[in-house]
Structure 1
């Protein structure tokens, strides 16, 4: 008993001093929210934001491309969530060799989507990784020279497009872990994502597509082709293929539909889920996997952890060892071979930038905020806008979508377009029309084009 009593007294003293010293700062009681903000803004997260393979500079907060009056979404942080954050022991990680850090860095506790009633908006919500290897095109029709003031206010020409090896320092992880997928890494564990990202080589050039030799005016002309039924019977195939480059996504069936949609694919944009589901669902139409045109570039949208598990399996030429695609061999979906140098993964900052500045939906104010994201087609279109000088868009949803099949490859009975809750199709309809009317893109609208002919 004599040995136990001093131990009890010592423990009591430790607890007492912890409560008094830790919680009482400058004579005032500090709640968990204040403590979290102190951690969030401390130097171990934000000191020297240039410790990446690209030059990183904070973006100036500018206006979004608004299509209707929307209230700015304010932070909705539950106090009990913040309490739980500060009672979890932080995991200390040794500094990475290529970061030249002098101290260890702390991984922030995991944030969970269920603990936010609507989109949480942080002070750094509209700050993005930037790239100092920005394009300097000579094309007189360069889209980013648009006279549309709203578009110019929203566009970030040097936004970082690609996620690759060297990007996930602990500081960058801490920043991106505040955003739900595909806009960040909320709910994920650092090692689960980093092990995949470290396999992705840094592109030899930040420019996805070079200026073709035959482009005497220096302009890159691109077609972005969706799968909308508006293309059925359009006879736009030759026009589409006449572009320097053609972007396609998801179930990009061309065989048997060449007259309407062409057969050239230069860039194929997809998620692992979209590719797998397209192969299974569209097998009767002859879709066996991703297009494999000579010189094709593959672009993956990392919408969830399964995409990083997919990348590991793909680059290591193994079957996926865990998760949604456990037991699947990704390589077979790309013709059993792939050039890592031609496989790109979009950076979460680029995806969040598109959502925040161009496709900010009112759905973000609802309890299902975390499942909303722009469509794969939307991300593809904006990727083209950041890659090409002249962009013509085909097969995207228009206001008269009800007149057409859901997909151009639908046969027989007319199918209806289903507006899934994870996308805001009405917002995309308005956005494509606005970009078209502003001269930023040319959107194929069947009624208009038929009048022209």
Structure 2
């Protein structure tokens, strides 16, 4: 009898540890497969990145700042960056809200890129079926509902790609320079009057209580670990996809890659340049990684054609 009791207690302890591990560790840790490409490489890619978002208490290292400032030739110093971050969190929540993982709740996400391969895809209902729908930059739904859906819970942007949002959608800022931190603070309050390499909206409509700001160190993690430093820096789309793998349990990916003619176009635009590629982003390498992730069932990829 005593041995049976000991076995029962042991099993309860094992189950309890399993539940604790899933609840407290896996929010940023998707599954990985030792047979996927190089087992150690994919294990490194899926290592838990503790803070994908900036918070009022997070201190970016000067080394990561120096990497980040080279993305767009930022000339201002680390002290200026820290002052802008402090000011930003006087307006926005001190930390980004991320839905916690639990055994009872599978967080499903649709990451919706802007590729022309979404045209005539009829993916709209599949996209809207997911709990969270993450769109980015100029991605729009009006007039394209059948192919891209209508639902948006998170919208990724930076100043030069900003769009107005409704009161329930989370603005997810991907900052590439100090100006971006200044912009999001002023565009939601007094108005922004600076300039950049492209026109910037002085004011935007969004709920300031739902703002989330990507950690520059996370950008470096994606570039160094996921892309093995290929290209100048990752595309917004690829960083969004890796972010989704950190904050979702099940990821569905739409609108990534070239169209059927090999052009990297947007679904809402009439293509004028028939040899449009991906600029400084390693598009081919990013696409290969997405295909590998889909092959090993670490995400579901909808090619569109």
> Following TM superposition, by how much is the alpha carbon of 1:198 offset from its aligned partner in structure 2, in angstroms?
0.5
2:261 counterpart residue number: 402
**Cα pair distance change 1:389/1:328, threshold 3 Å:** closer
Contact 2:88-2:182 within 8 A present in 1 as well: no
Q: Contact 2:44–2:225 at 8 Å: present in 1 too?
A: no
Q: Could you tell me which residue of structure 2 aligns to residue 188 of structure 1?
A: 76
Question: Which one has the largest radius of gyration?
Answer: 1
Superposition deviation, residue 204 in structure 1: 6.2
Q: Which residue of 1 aligns with 2:251?
A: 391
Going from structure 1 to structure 2, the CA distance change for 1:417 and 1:157 (only over 3 Å counts) comes to farther
Quote the offset at 1:185 in angstroms. Answer: 9.2
User: Deviation string for 1:58-113 (max 9, x for gaps)?
Assistant: xxxxxxxxxxxxxxxxxxxxxxxxxxxxxxxxxxxxxxxxxxxxxxxxxxxxxxxx
TM superposition shift of 1:346: 0.8
- Counterparts in 2 of 1:40-119, with a 5 A limit? none
The structural deviation recorded for 1:420 is: 4.0
Partner SS, residue 196 of structure 2: coil
- The aligned residue for residue 338 of structure 1 is 207
Decide which of 99, 110, 121 is 1:223's aligned counterpart.
110
Write the distance in 2 (CA, Å) between the matches of 1:345 and 1:380. 12
CA contact (8 A) 2:121 2:147 kept: yes
Superposed displacement of residue 181, structure 1: 3.1
Task: Indicate the RMSD between aligned Cα atoms, in angstroms.
Answer: 3.4
2:136 to 233, 249, 256: 249
Cα offset, 1:314, TM superposition: 3.0
The equivalent residue for 2:121 is 234
Partner residue, 2:169: 296
- Asked if the contact 2:54–2:95 (Cα under 8 Å) also holds between the matched residues in 1, the reply is no
* Residue 324 of structure 1, aligned match among 171, 186, 196: 196
Alpha-carbon distance in structure 2 between the residues aligned to 1:374 and 1:137? 30
Flag the 1:139–1:220 CA change in 2: closer, same or farther, 3 A.
farther
Q: Are 1:265 and 2:152 an aligned pair?
A: yes
Q: In the alignment, what sits opposite 2:17?
A: none
After superposition, the Cα gap between the structure-2 partners of 1:405 and 1:312, relative to the gap in structure 1 and judged at 3 Å, is: closer
The answer as to whether partners of 1:143 and 1:440 remain within 8 angstroms in 2 is: no
3-state SS in 2 of match to 1:386: helix
The number of aligned residues is 279
Match of 2:279? 421
> 3-state DSSP class of the match of 1:290?
coil
Contact 2:115 2:256 in 1 (8 A): yes
The equivalent residue for 2:54 is 163
Q: For 2:303 and 2:198, locate their aligned partners in 1 and report how far apart those are by CA, in whole Å.
A: 42
C-alpha spacing 1:154/1:327, structure 2 compared with 1 (3 Å): closer
Q: Which residue of 1 aligns with 2:216?
A: 348
> Alpha-carbon deviation of 1:151?
2.2
3-state DSSP class of the match of 2:191?
Answer: coil
8 Å CA contact 1:298–1:344 kept in 2: the answer is yes
Q: Which residue of 1 aligns with 2:161?
A: 274
Between the aligned partners of 1:312 and 1:224, the Cα distance in structure 2 is 26
Aligned to 1:11: none
Aligned to 2:5: none
Displacement of 1:186:
6.4
Q: CA deviation at 1:137?
A: 4.0
Aligned partner (choices 202, 226, 241) of residue 381 of structure 1: 241
Higher relative contact order (CA 8 A, sep 6+): 2
Q: 1:176 aligns with which of 35, 47, 64?
A: 64
